[in-house]
Amino acid sequence: MKFSSRAERIEPFYVMEVAKAAQALGREVAGTDHPMIFLNIGEPDFTAPPLVQEAADRAVRSGITQYTNALGLEALREKISQWYLDRFGVNVAPNRIVVTAGASAALQLACLALIEHGDEILMPDPSYPCNRHFVSAAEGTAVLIPTTAEERYQLSADKVEAAWGAKTRGVLLASPSNPTGTSIAPDELRKIHKVVKQRGGITIIDEIYLGLSYDETFGQSALAIDDDIISINSFSKYFNMTGWRLGWMVVPEAMVPVVERLAQNLFICASTISQHAALACFEEDSIAEYERRRAQFKARRDYFIPALDALGLSVPVMPDGAFYAWADCTQAAQKLGVSGSWDFAFELMKRAHLAITPGRDFGTADTGRFVRFSTANSMTQLQESIRRLQQLIG
Ligand SMILES: Cc1ncc(COP(=O)(O)O)c(C=O)c1O
């Protein structure tokens, strides 16, 4: 069978090999006193709070399960708009909000709406692997620009300016980032957007982890900068609803009808049940629960990152959001008699029963030295992980 070159261009997820091996070994050691601890999972260990579960149940039982408008339920778009005002002090009109099947669908819609064959999109290295694949699926080319710890692993205005070429169409950023949990300083973002706008380009920013921000300096939405910025978001992370497949994006008004046309044809609408459930995310009790959980994520970060550092698994920049630790494993790998993050991850899995993610999928610059730990796990499990690391490399 012959497959399209578009499909062939999509690289495999190497981390899945590690995840599969960890699951297989995890089954073997499940009943022992040394079960596998999974620190490779990029999703919250919480599920949706009670009011959200009840709202989903009500939607199913009362049969309100028909398609919605392609742009999403009006009431949900209004709630999201109010959330921007309450949480970030930004006015975002509901008619600029498009509800989608997760941030993934939002990213696909944005790329299909804006990218022509051959267009180049600048993004940081390391970054979330799917982002470059969304670009290539739209027949564009992702141009990865190596970043440094001093730049918080984000693009700078200078680098964007230097990399801009005849085919460049814009930038795709994520703040806070996966895998580093670090954000772009608001002033730098303003400068980047200025460079992009002066060249007639587009700024797309993935703010899926913005709700899980722990630092006021960085916890601001890019939407405060300019109505031209396209912001991607989701119910997956802060709202703990990964499998409900619900997200949204905020687009300039002129882009709404284009995205609506694409969404109608490609998806019809996001899950109706999830949309009705998500209305309850914004109830006072739900927000209070989400904020308690955000405090837990922060407490885990505050415990885990210094503990990794003390073991020589240095995390060059303290994450200001999300639930990841991007750690240099050079020294630790040497202690285990291996080199590189790929072998280190396998060694850790076999000898300490700790599943983590090697840097390889997130880019090519320096990623062979780094591993990603996810702290979306209970404090007890995180403490046990550090104990095992101490035994092995301490
Ligand atoms: C940076 C980033 N963007 C987008 C996504 C996709 O999220 P969703 O579940 O909303 O499709 C993820 C998922 O891990 C992510 O880390």
What digits encode the pLDDT tens for the residues 323-367?
Answer: 999 999 999 999 999 999 999 999 999 999 999 999 999 999 999
Q: Which CATH architecture does the domain made up of 5-47+286-393 adopt?
A: Alpha-Beta Complex (3.90)
CA of residue 44 to ligand 1 center, whole Å? 12
Query: What is the position in ligand 1's atom list of the atom closest to the CA of 245?
Result: 9
Helices 284-310/50-61 angle, 10° precision: 130
Mean pLDDT of the chain: 96
Residue 339 is predicted with a pLDDT of 93
Cβ contacts of 349 within 8 Å, gap of 6 or more: 18, 21, 22, 25, 36, 355, 356
147 has pLDDT over 90: yes
Residue 88 is predicted with a pLDDT of 96
* 86-91: average pLDDT: 97
Q: How far apart are CA 327 and CA 348, in angstroms?
A: 14
CA of residue 108 to ligand 1 center, whole Å? 12
CA of residue 282 to ligand 1 center, whole Å? 21
Residue 11 is predicted with a pLDDT of 81
The full length of the chain comes to 394
Q: How far apart are CA 84 and CA 92, in angstroms?
A: 7
Query: 14 pLDDT band (50/70/90 cuts)?
Result: confident
Residue 280 is predicted with a pLDDT of 98
* 18-34: average pLDDT: 91
Residue ranges lining ligand 1, Cβ < 6 Å: 42, 102-104, 128, 174, 178, 206, 208, 234, 236, 242, 247
pLDDT in tens, 284-326: 999 999 999 999 999 999 999 999 999 999 999 999 999 999 9
* 29-55: average pLDDT: 94
Q: What is the CA radius of gyration of the chain?
A: 21
Report the nearest-CA residue for atom 4 of ligand 1.
103
Q: How far apart are CA 226 and CA 356, in angstroms?
A: 38
Q: How far apart are CA 355 and CA 178, in angstroms?
A: 17
Task: Indicate where the chain has its CATH 3.40.640.10 domain(s).
Answer: 50-282
- For 213, list phi and psi in degrees, rounded to 5: -110, 140
* 263-290: average pLDDT: 98
Structure tokens at 6: 């578009």
Residue 13 is predicted with a pLDDT of 79
Q: Which H, E and C letters describe the chain, residue by residue? A: CCCCHHHHHCCCCCHHHHHHHHHHHHHHCCCCCCCCEECCCCCCCCCCCHHHHHHHHHHHHCCCCCCCCCCCCHHHHHHHHHHHHHHHCCCCCHHHEEEECHHHHHHHHHHHHHCCCCCEEEEEECCCHHHHHHHHHCCCEEEEEECCHHHCCCCCHHHHHHHCCCCEEEEEEECCCCCCCCCCCHHHHHHHHHHHHHCCCEEEEECCCHHHECCCCCCCCHHHCCCCCEEEEECCCCCCCHHHCCEEEECCHHHHHHHHHHHHHHCCCCCHHHHHHHHHHHCHHHHHHHHHHHHHHHHHHHHHHHHHHHCCCECCCCCCECCEEEEECHHHHHHCCCCCHHHHHHHHHHHHCEECEEHHHHCCCCHHHEEEEECCCCHHHHHHHHHHHHHHHC
Query: 41 pLDDT band (50/70/90 cuts)?
Result: confident
Query: Which of these, 378, 373, 352, lies nearest to 35 by C-alpha position?
Result: 352
Residue 12 is predicted with a pLDDT of 80
Cβ contacts of 146 within 8 Å, gap of 6 or more: 125, 363, 365, 366
199 has pLDDT over 90: yes
Q: What number of other Cβ atoms are within 10 A of residue 191's Cβ?
A: 17
Domain 50-282 has CATH 3.40.640.10: yes
Task: Indicate where the chain has its CATH 3.90.1150.10 domain(s).
Answer: 5-47+286-393
Burial class (CB in 10 A: 0-12, 13-18, 19+), 107: buried
* 54-69: average pLDDT: 97
CA of residue 390 to ligand 1 center, whole Å? 32
Percent of the chain clearing pLDDT 90 (strictly above): 94
The preferred substitution site among 16, 98, 100, 104 for testing ligand 1, maximizing ligand atoms within 8 Å of CB, is 104
pLDDT in tens, 215-259: 999 999 999 999 999 999 999 999 999 999 999 999 999 999 999
Query: 16 pLDDT band (50/70/90 cuts)?
Result: confident
How far are the Cα atoms of 77, 281, 353 from residue 63, in angstroms, in the given order?
Answer: 21, 20, 46
The preferred substitution site among 99, 213, 236 for testing ligand 1, maximizing ligand atoms within 8 Å of CB, is 236
